[in-house]
Amino acid sequence: MTTIFVSHAKEDGVCAEAINKELEAKGYTVWREPTSLTLASVLSPRTLEDDILGSAALILVWSSHAAHSEWVERHILFAQRLKKLLLPVSIDGTPLPNTLVAVSPVAAQASCAGVVAQLAPSLPAPGSQEALLTLYEQAAHDRIRVRKEASDLAAGMLTRDEHREEVLAVLEYLAHQDQMMGVRDKAQEVLDADTKQRAGQPQPPLLRPGDARYIFGARCSKGHVSYFNKNRVCAEKLSPVHRRVQRAGAELDEIELTCEVCGETMIVRIDCEGCS
């Protein structure tokens, strides 16, 4: 099955439900907040992380309400951490978060009727058997054995150089965040083997030093985009302002950065979890 996670503020429920119904009509499985957001989800944000981890893509219903939603912010940052396909739908023209620089929103009316037809070319097919989607599903599975199998699948994908950055992001999440030591150890073994195998091999040039999966962009108020290495900016000594903020039951990092084009100071929120 191909699952789509639709992130939205509660005030935009009409739009989200229209998108949900259109997705289901096309054969997708949809994460639905009324049935999935339980008391356990609130007490253990890991439940929501698993829902995003197991999804093929995240559709973001973006509005002034979403811009003030702690849960929506949490969804965005976690999806970015996993290198997930993220598709914004703008219903009132509110500017996107300053770290969403590589996507353009689909403009929609408040009802969001017909939005899925515009998003369809970017979505994986319903029932897709693509290895990356299988990896997502296995990594989010409630059975320990299946989550270990995710690492085996990831190892094969790395050998074939398939979806490298997305695969590494999933492995790093399992290695650092899975609740079972056996799953964490298995994922770390694959990461270590990949590091050893690639040692000494010529690496492709990057926009900035470091691995591509740690590079993120931030847009200043003038529209300039600067790129940063998350591992570097998450080190407190490299930023004059670095504080932890509580958002939706979890801690996020609020960091002051400088636009490399005009020198403007930007405050960005990112998830430094798992950075080395």
Q: Are residues 190 and 135 in the same domain?
A: yes
- Return the pLDDT at 244: 84
Say if 58 falls within a structural domain: yes
Entry pTM: 0.88
- Domain range for residue 194? 131-198
Q: Are residues 79 and 190 in the same domain?
A: no
Tally the domains of the chain: 3
* Sign for the pseudo-dihedral over CA of 68, 120, 32, 53: negative
Alpha-carbon distance of 228 to 207, in angstroms, equals 9
Alpha-carbon distance of 88 to 94, in angstroms, equals 11
Q: Are residues 77 and 164 in the same domain?
A: no
Beta strand 85-90 pairing with 106-107: parallel
Q: pLDDT tens digits for 53-97?
A: 999 999 999 999 999 999 999 999 999 999 999 999 999 999 999
Q: Are residues 66 and 136 in the same domain?
A: no
Alpha-carbon distance of 37 to 274, in angstroms, equals 25
- Return the pLDDT at 241: 73
Alpha-carbon distance of 248 to 252, in angstroms, equals 10
Helix (H), strand (E), coil (C) string for 92-138:
CCCCCCCCCCCCCCEECCCCCCCHHHHHHHHCCCCCCCCHHHHHHHH
Q: Are residues 16 and 75 in the same domain?
A: yes
Q: Are residues 100 and 19 in the same domain?
A: yes
Q: Are residues 16 and 105 in the same domain?
A: yes
- Return the pLDDT at 214: 83
- Return the pLDDT at 36: 47
Task: State both tokens at 134.
Answer: 């299988």
Say if 207 falls within a structural domain: no
Buried residues in 19-40 as b, exposed as e (16+ CB within 10 A): bbebbeeeebbbbebeeeeeee
Q: Are residues 87 and 154 in the same domain?
A: no
> For residue 93, which phi and psi values (nearest 5 degrees)?
80, 5
Q: Are residues 244 and 263 in the same domain?
A: yes
| Helix, strand counts (H, E) of the chain | 12, 10
- Return the pLDDT at 265: 94
Say if 275 falls within a structural domain: no
Q: pLDDT tens digits for 172-199?
A: 999 999 999 999 999 999 999 999 988 7
Q: Are residues 150 and 251 in the same domain?
A: no
Domain final residue, candidates 145, 168, 198? 198
Q: Pick out the chain residues at pLDDT < 70.
A: 33-46, 200-211, 236-240, 274, 276
